[in-house]
């Protein structure tokens, strides 16, 4: 999470346990191939096999809209052997939307071109290319098309934040839309949005049918949440 989940926070949260992997704040890819120093500043973990101190893999998140430029950045980044490269198609903030951000969700064909360009960058097969999306801009009409486009483009996992851009961070969260995507899309889906406690975790899994869940603000509000989830609701398993 931009402005929040830096390497220090990633280290503290993953040390508490319960995470399979984590992801950096996004890097804007706008006009150039960024130098390695930009990535190592964002993720000092790159100097430690792209893992936090307790060994949790850290994926690097890119945000942009130009397939060739994103591919060139991914190829350059791949030389640093990141644990994964994640493409962000879900950022709703106005500054980011000048660089498109969630606006790309109106153009599934462009999402597919971005994903396949990054996959063919070349990024070695050992480095997963994953993506994160919201459900759409104003409504969730094209959410399934976007997920299918990313699947066709070759992403290996897809995190879906169950809101549109217009939903912002408001009270409406549409877990049931993730369930509809899951019925059609084969690639592993990770459900995201409004998981603040173990009961929310159980509910989002039940509604979406997803085995995996991404924690955002809930992880910061309760640094032991992932561990409690992993331990089946108990802080200290017997």
Ligand X SMILES: Cc1cc2nc3c(=O)[nH]c(=O)nc-3n(C[C@H](O)[C@H](O)[C@H](O)COP(=O)(O)O)c2cc1C
Binding residue (CB under 6 A) for ligand X from 73, 88, 130, 164: 88
Q: Is 217 in the site for ligand X (CB under 6 A)?
A: yes
Options 10-18, 31-39, 106-114, 216-224: segment touching ligand X (CB under 6 A): 216-224
Q: Is 28 in the site for ligand X (CB under 6 A)?
A: no
Distance, CA of 41 to CA of 172 (rounded, Å): 35
Q: Which residue in the list 22, 38, 91, 146 is annotated as catalytic?
A: 91
Options 44-52, 65-73, 116-124, 214-222: segment touching ligand X (CB under 6 A): 214-222
Closest of 147, 12, 129 to residue 75, by C-alpha: 129
Binding residue (CB under 6 A) for ligand X from 19, 21, 26, 201: 26
Distance, CA of 88 to CA of 198 (rounded, Å): 26
Binding residue (CB under 6 A) for ligand X from 45, 66, 167, 194: 194
β pairing state of 22-28 and 189-192? unpaired
Q: Is 4 in the site for ligand X (CB under 6 A)?
A: yes
Q: Is 61 in the site for ligand X (CB under 6 A)?
A: yes
Burial bucket for residue 118 (CB in 10 Å: 0-12, 13-18, 19+):
buried
Binding residue (CB under 6 A) for ligand X from 42, 58, 70, 195: 195
Angle in degrees, CA 2, 104, 176, rounded to 5: 80
Q: Is 215 in the site for ligand X (CB under 6 A)?
A: yes
Q: Is 218 in the site for ligand X (CB under 6 A)?
A: yes
Options 1-9, 48-56, 100-108, 202-210: segment touching ligand X (CB under 6 A): 1-9
91 given a catalytic annotation? yes
Task: Mark 146-166 as b/e (b = at least 16 C-beta within 10 Å).
Answer: bbbbbbbbbbbbbbbbbbbbe
Kindly write down the DSSP assignment for every residue of 146-179, as one continuous string.
Answer: HHHHHHHHT-S-EEEESS-TTTTTSS---HHHHH
Q: Is 92 in the site for ligand X (CB under 6 A)?
A: no
* Maximum Cα interatomic distance, the chain, rounded to a whole number of Å: 53
Which positions lie near ligand X, rule CB under 6 A? 1-4, 25-26, 61, 88, 90, 132, 161, 192-195, 215-218
Which residues does the annotation mark as catalytic?
91
């Amino acid at each position: 999470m931009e402005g929040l989940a830096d390497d220090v926070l990633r280290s503290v949260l993953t040390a508490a346990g319960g995470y399979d992997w984590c992801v950096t704040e996004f890097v804007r890819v706008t006009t150039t191939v960024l130098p390695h120093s930009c990535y190592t500043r964002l993720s000092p973990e790159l100097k430690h096999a792209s893992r936090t101190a307790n060994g949790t893999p850290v994926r690097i998140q890119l945000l942009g809209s130009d397939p060739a430029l994103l591919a060139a950045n991914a190829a350059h980044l791949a030389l640093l052997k990141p644990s994964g490269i994640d493409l962000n198609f879900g950022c709703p903030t106005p500054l980011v939307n000048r660089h498109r951000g969630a606006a790309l969700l109106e153009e599934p064909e462009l999402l597919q071109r971005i994903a396949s360009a990054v996959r063919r960058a070349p990024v070695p097969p050992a480095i997963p290319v994953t993506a994160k999306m919201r459900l759409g801009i104003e409504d969730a009409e094209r959410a399934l098309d976007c997920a299918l486009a990313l699947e066709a483009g070759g992403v290996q996992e897809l995190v879906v934040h169950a809101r549109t851009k217009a939903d912002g961070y408001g009270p409406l969260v549409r877990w049931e839309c993730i369930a509809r995507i899951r019925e059609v899309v084969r690639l592993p889906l990770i459900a995201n949005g409004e998981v603040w406690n173990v009961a929310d975790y159980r509910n989002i899994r039940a509604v979406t049918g997803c085995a995996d869940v991404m924690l955002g603000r809930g992880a910061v509000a309760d640094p032991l949440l992932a561990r409690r989830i992993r331990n089946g609701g108990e802080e200290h398993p017997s």
